[in-house]
Structure 1
């Protein structure tokens, strides 16, 4: 990036920035999820805590190997919709779990981030944690959809090339070598 004074393109490094951010986020989520599961494995795990940190661990690992997944646009759309729908659906029921104890009605999963009953209070810390959780769960679904798409048969329409007549740039090409069965220039083998 520092080579603009030498005539180099100063924006040449920007295509790698999303990949670097993805890898850094993957290592962060893998570290947080794995460390918290390892520390609390001695019996302090509640079901919400286990689900939250196992999802962070899975999301971090999937971010690290995302270059091998190769999902489609439909997969991205469905997984994004799942993350948004999960976030919205868990904000509807009232829970008595931890967090925001000063509000009579708490909403959100895995951490209640919305306090209601005495006005509306949104806790940004728990909201971010829930967004990360649902994003990681969407990434897990994205991976499952990409694996399903790999085993599905190809959906393109086959083309019949039986009546295809090869055309060459040189009129003498067919006279020089009459048998062209091994080539792919005159048609598909």
Structure 2
């Protein structure tokens, strides 16, 4: 009876601790992350969907990982710009950490400690990102600059998300 009780207690503890662990996958890498947050797209195009984002850790490095449902030949790449509510602009440089699986384009951008400090002080308003298609030869349907905003009933307080996740 004691073995059954001990096994039950250990199973409950394992379930509680493992349920709080999120991972984001990019290529052959996985990173501990926050839950996924969705920013509604500002585009009228039926081909451009909402932008999903998570904050993640790669050892000591901090990441912002963005993803969107697109066609399989398309990547989110190039510069990513984060506009904060206080007017601050954060520009992230593409480091080539991207993937497209099951028509979900995913790209990870590194964030500096200074950029994270700015994100702890002012909430994300809008994210501007670039979509490129390696095989499309300049198809305006699948390429261009797009944006998604943190607005409406689903608005997220990223100042607390950043603070909570990176101060664990």
Q: TM-score, normalised by structure 2?
A: 0.28
Higher helix share: 1
Higher strand share: 2
Q: TM-score, normalised by structure 1?
A: 0.26
